[in-house]
Amino acid sequence: MNFPVIVTVTLRPGIADPEGATIERALPALGFTGVTHVRAGKSFAMQIDAPDEVSALEKATALAERLLSNPVIEDASARIAVSPGAST
């Protein structure tokens, strides 16, 4: 069965995020006030063939830790994407 999976990679807490900081500084000029703690990251969408959701997420987590993120500075998390027609 194919499961739609989203992997999100963000910088670990405490790691400087110049991209997030720059975005945060730009927001007030555009009228968006009260927005803080902006962190930039990456998102990856994929289909994973697995017998069930749990093993799909295990596979996604493993590949996220091995390739999609650098554990020295980044955290990765995987979730099943909610999409029309997806098996539950």
Partner 1 sequence: MIRIGVVVFPGSNCEYDAAAAVSAMGGEADFIWHSETSITGFDGVILPGGFAHGDYLRPGALARFSPVMEAVAAFANEGGPVLGICNGFQVLTEAGLLPGALQKNAGLTFVCEPTTLIVASTRSVLTRAATKGQELVIPINHFSGAYTCDDETLRSLEANDQIALRYKNNPNGSRGDIAGVSNIAGNVVGLMPHPERAMTTLLGSADGRVLLEGFLHSSVAAH
Q: Applying CB under 8 A, which of residues 13, 72, 82, 88 lies at the interface with partner 1?
A: 72
- Using alpha carbons, select from 58, 63, 87, 59 the residue that is nearest to residue 9: 63
Q: Applying CB under 8 A, which of residues 2, 47, 70, 87 lies at the interface with partner 1?
A: 70
**What tokens were used for 10?**
């963000």
Q: Applying CB under 8 A, which of residues 35, 62, 67, 81 lies at the interface with partner 1?
A: 67
Regarding 25 and contact with partner 1 (CB under 8 A), the answer is no
From the number of C-beta atoms within 10 Å of its C-beta (0-12, 13-18, 19+), residue 54 rates as: exposed
Regarding 16 and contact with partner 1 (CB under 8 A), the answer is yes
Q: What share of the chain is helix, strand, coil (3-state, %, to 5)?
A: 30, 30, 40
Q: Applying CB under 8 A, which of residues 1, 15, 81, 86 lies at the interface with partner 1?
A: 15
Interface with partner 1 by CB under 8 A: which residues?
Answer: 14-16, 18-19, 22, 67-68, 70, 72-73
